[in-house]
Amino acid sequence: MTSTTPHPHDGQYERSERIGDDHVGTSVNTPMREDAFVLSDQEKMDRIEPLFREIMNVMGLDLRDDSLSGTPKRVAKMYVQEIFKGLNPANHPNCKTFENSYGYGEMLVEKDINLNSTCEHHFLPICGKAHVAYISSGRVIGLSKINRLVDHYAKRPQVQERLTRQVAEALKDILGTEDVAVVMDAKHLCVSSRGIEDEGSATITADYHGAFKKESVRREFLDYIRH
């Protein structure tokens, strides 16, 4: 007789499948274990390398081939020290602020910031542009630091909605102002290269705070990034 008792993890699996297909994020903060940084970068790479080697073996790839033999090590280094280096708070950019001594009181917009991240549901690339603006409350930040801030939070397994909010919250904290806006426009390879395989679509997310909640201020910001 065949048992009809559901497996205890069936519900969890179905939920994870639904979240992955719907591209839903579960929290504003990146989900991390408390012991996430007990291992050094080198120890993490040493553990990832044989695990990825096993994945390649299971797929039937011949790791004796010169082109493939070094791939597990390259992937391990890429995960820890490159595309996911933003997981480690030690890699957060030093975003020193300065007094707004020239009294600039209008919004500052940094647009078309290169955005390269990774979808946390399928570990496929997210590629696009970020547009960031703020109105100084007395402090300003070097322009390149805004780019570095976007890059830091992008270098994690991400959901675009979370990434947008993380950049906005970080900038608010650094500058001591609520007047911050972030818009991101990106393509997801988990949409274009698998599943529906829609290569033409893009995803736009936005996070507006303080003065940017006013329609006129928000419209001014959007006009800037459109031109």
Describe the crossing of helices 71-78 and 41-58 by its angle, rounded to 10 degrees: 130
Q: Residues 110, 120, 131, 158: which is the catalytic one? A: 120
Single out the catalytic residue among 95, 110, 122, 131: 122
For 23-41, the pLDDT digits (tens) are 455 578 999 999 999 999 9
Give the distance, in angstroms, between the CA of residue 10 and the centroid of all CA atoms in the same chain.
29
pLDDT by residue (tens digit) across 135-157?
A: 999 999 999 999 999 999 999 99
- Determine whether 121 is an active site residue: yes
Choose the catalytic residue: 110, 119, 131, 158.
119
**Nearest-CA neighbor of 97 among 147, 140, 138, 149?**
140
**Active-site residue, 188 included:** yes
Asked if 120 is an active-site residue, the reply is yes
- In this predicted structure, what is the pLDDT of residue 11? 54
Active site residue 178: no
Q: What gap in Å lies between CA 48 and CA 41, rounded to an integer?
A: 11
pTM: 0.87
Question: Mean pLDDT throughout 45-64?
Answer: 98
Of 49, 121, 131, 209, which one is the catalytic site residue?
Answer: 121
Domains and CATH numbers, the chain: 35-83 (1.10.286.10), 96-226 (3.30.1130.10)
Candidate list 152, 158, 160, 166, residue with the active-site label? 160
Instruction: From 49, 17, 16, 19, select the one nearest 161 (Cα to Cα).
Output: 19
